[in-house]
Amino acid sequence: MPQTVAILGGGVAGLCAAHELAERGFRVRVFERKPVMGGKARSIPVPDSAAPNRKPLPGEHGFRFFPGFYKHVTDTMQRIPSGANGSAFDALTVATRILLARAGQTEITWIARCPATPEDFRVFLLELFTPLGVPLPEVNYFVTRLLTVATSCPERRLAEFENIAWWDFIAARRMSKTYQAYLGQGLTRSLVAMRAEESSARTVGITQLQLLYGLIGPDRVFDRLLTGPTSDVWIDPWTQYLRKLGVEFYPGTRVAGIETHGARVTGVATEGGPRITADFYVSALPVEVMAPLVTDNLKRAAPSLANLDKLQTRWMNGIQFYLSEDVPLVNGHAIFLDSPWALTSISQRQFWTNADFSQFGNGNVRGIFSVDISDWEAPGVVYGKPARECTAEQIKDEVWTQLKQHLNDGGSAPIDDANLVAWFLDPDIEFSNPGTAANAEPLLINTAGSLQYRPEAQAELENLFLASDYVRTYTDIACMEAANEAARRAVNCVLVASGSTGAPAKLWPLEEPAFLKPIQEIDRIRFGLGLPHHLAGLTGMDARAGLP
């Protein structure tokens, strides 16, 4: 008889764990609290939007983003049959540009290039950031801090950069308002979806570098996007394939408690449903759902779970604007650097080549702006309130206005009220209490010093394993890639615990340019000798003096 595994949570992590385990002969059941699988990655049909014989307008939790450093997710997609002889990976297309939009100023477009030496890389970074209008000495300093992370050994990154906020690491308090707004807050909120003032310099620095490496690598993939709504081209083919492998899905199942005896999980209680039992359990629940389930009894059995409630979450949710005429903007992401709500967007139609737009809604939609809101705490420009204190209609007005401020300032007006057919806000933003919105699916934020609270995929229990983006991974940031990697780590633990002879799920460390390796090795020697990084003497005052 195959050994059984109960997977709690049907998002990317849960589906990946099910995929890897089912291919290795386990009997797998997936329990998901929502009525559909996919978690934050799922598509959301807009209610009451479909005319007869047409599909509902496609909504999303937020636009999908597949940077070049994503290896685990894309490997999984290559193993999901889709179409006649293809895979879900074929539904990815490469974006070639990044638009940096600023209110009242000229837009900037980033294009891939290929440095081959550390000096080439430094010049490349200077050329990227100088057009932002930040004083040149301050740009020099910011680039130096990025290079400090890039050329540090892993041991130094952990010991010195983990416990300091990115804001302090880049000396933002001593710099100009422009530096703070663009290089401190704008890039961090938009590219990494974290607040520079509180997020770990190790996580922010490494992630920003990984994104930038996508502009300089041999294949020059900064980003890839899907060719249709997420569920159509990825999640639905995935669940169909898993069903063929024998995976059983139980939507609408909410976990109420994890029962233990000694060093083993004995069962999982559900709200109003049957008790779940299995040989092994994989928790693919997000941290805000898992933390309340960690009772005192569970903490004693698995001490590494005791501090999950110390991990913090923030909001990053999407709103879609449906247009009667398409406005492509740029072949990639647009980052609105001055927007109080840290907006980023994708013009979807240019990428959704597998989607027949005439079949959506009433047939009049020709384009979609998919916009992510990353800052829900800053006051807006229309109502003077943060997004979490606005109504859904007010959020729509604010986002639309902030888009106008950034794009309708160069003699053209791509954001036209008359072009707006409909809009849709992520339903995870809930308005049960007037004046204060709630978020059913926030994102983990790696605050400075928080790594100590994050467990490995193997908990202290013999048959409970963790597959979520709060687990320690190479990826180290709340995203689909981290969730997929954590699931693979959990699966490998199941293989060992069960005595399976199945091959371990593959894991990929983050890649860095080869020309940085010798400098990192020198830094490892310096760190071992107790010496500072060779760039450590530079301070904010040095930057203002014009030092490189």
- pLDDT tens digits, residue range 225-261? 999 999 999 999 999 999 999 999 999 999 999 999 9
Residue 360, strand partner residues: 55
- Phi and psi (nearest 5°) for 326? -70, 145
CA dist., res. 465 & res. 461, Å (int): 8
Q: Is the dihedral of CA 251, 234, 473, 507 positive or negative?
A: positive
Q: Other C-beta atoms within 10 Å of 545: how many?
A: 12
Alpha-carbon distance of 100 to 414, in angstroms, equals 15
CA distance 487 to 72: 10
* β-strands 464-466, 280-283 pairing: parallel
Length of the chain: 548
Q: How far apart are CA 290 and CA 307, in angstroms?
A: 11
Domain residue ranges in the chain: 1-33+252-306+454-512, 44-111+220-232+316-441, 113-218+515-544
Architecture field, domain 44-111+220-232+316-441? Alpha-Beta Complex (3.90)
Residues near 313 by beta carbon (within 8 Å), at least 6 away in sequence: 287, 288, 442, 443, 444, 445
Could you read off the pLDDT tens digit of each residue along the chain, which spans 548 residues?
A: 789 999 999 999 999 999 999 999 999 999 999 999 999 999 999 999 999 999 999 999 888 889 889 999 999 999 999 988 899 999 999 887 788 888 777 777 776 556 678 888 888 788 888 888 899 999 999 999 999 999 999 999 999 999 999 999 999 999 999 999 889 988 887 666 688 999 999 999 999 999 888 877 666 677 899 999 999 999 999 999 999 999 999 999 999 999 999 999 999 999 999 999 999 999 999 999 999 999 999 999 999 999 999 999 999 999 999 999 999 888 888 888 889 999 999 999 999 988 889 999 999 999 999 999 999 999 999 999 999 999 999 999 999 999 999 888 766 678 899 999 999 999 999 998 777 889 999 999 999 999 999 999 999 999 999 999 999 999 999 999 999 999 999 999 999 999 999 999 999 999 999 999 999 999 999 999 999 999 986 544 343 333 33
Kindly report the pTM of this predicted structure. 0.93
Query: Which of 107, 112, 98 minimizes the C-alpha distance to 332?
Result: 98
Judge contact between 449 and 197, C-beta under 8 A. no
Residue in this structure with the two tokens 């039992």, named with its chain if needed: 277
Q: Note the pLDDT tens digit of each residue in 308-329.
A: 999 999 999 999 999 999 998 8
Question: In CATH, what class is 1-33+252-306+454-512?
Answer: alpha beta
